[in-house]
Amino acid sequence: MTAITQVHIIEDSEAIGVATPVFQEFIDTRGSVPEWARVMAHRPEILATFYALFKATMGPGLVEQDNKWKIAYKVSKLNGCAYCVGVTEAMMKKLGVSDENMRLVDTDIAQMSPDEQIAVRYAEAVTKNALEVPEEIYTELKAHYNDGQIVELTAAIGLFNYINRFNDALGVMPR
């Protein structure tokens, strides 16, 4: 898939305001600034706020990080966001998720642990139609997760639905 970014990519030297420390944090922690951040930097306040939400949602929390990245992968696959699929695959590998376990998210969730299964089913239901998540999914979700964890899972699902659409709408792809 070839995409053309619909807006100018902000280079390091062009970052202004609160985008500057966000760019520096990316450089310090991962060696480069991701393309989505370079695009979002047209609105530094949105970038800084989104990045804070991203770290709070996808970083250490109440739900295991690898489980959150598995649902982010599922959401990205459902939405067809090639960029985010690549990012989620890389993060899962970094967290020690095997290729086989990644494949299960797509092909055979029945082989996953019960808490992972319901998280993936919940992610799919919310992504497809958040207003019509079946009650049995909530019942099963509550058997494995407390309210704080459900909020965290839902935040991860919403976050990736947002960034998938942001990247796809603006043609954001890695360099």
* Residue 39 included in any domain: yes
CA torsion angle 172 100 144 88 (round to 10): -10
Are 132 and 148 found together in one domain? yes
The model's pTM = 0.94
CA torsion angle 79 73 59 64 (round to 10): 130
Are 53 and 70 found together in one domain? no
**CA 152 to centroid of chain Cα atoms:** 12
| Chunked mean pLDDT (size 10), the chain, 175 residues | 78 97 96 96 98 97 97 97 94 95 92 96 97 97 98 98 97 84
Are 153 and 137 found together in one domain? yes
C-alpha distances (whole Å) from 63 to each of 34, 75, 107, 153, 166 are 25, 17, 23, 7, 25
* Residue 2 included in any domain: no
How many domains are there within the chain?
Answer: 2
Residue 4's pLDDT is what? 76
Instruction: Count CA atoms within 13 Å of residue 67 on its CB side.
Output: 23
Residue 129's pLDDT is what? 97
Range of the domain at 134: 65-170
Are 129 and 148 found together in one domain? yes
Widest distance between CA atoms in the chain: 51
CATH number, domain of 157, equals 1.20.1290.10
Residue 173's pLDDT is what? 86
Are 48 and 69 found together in one domain? no
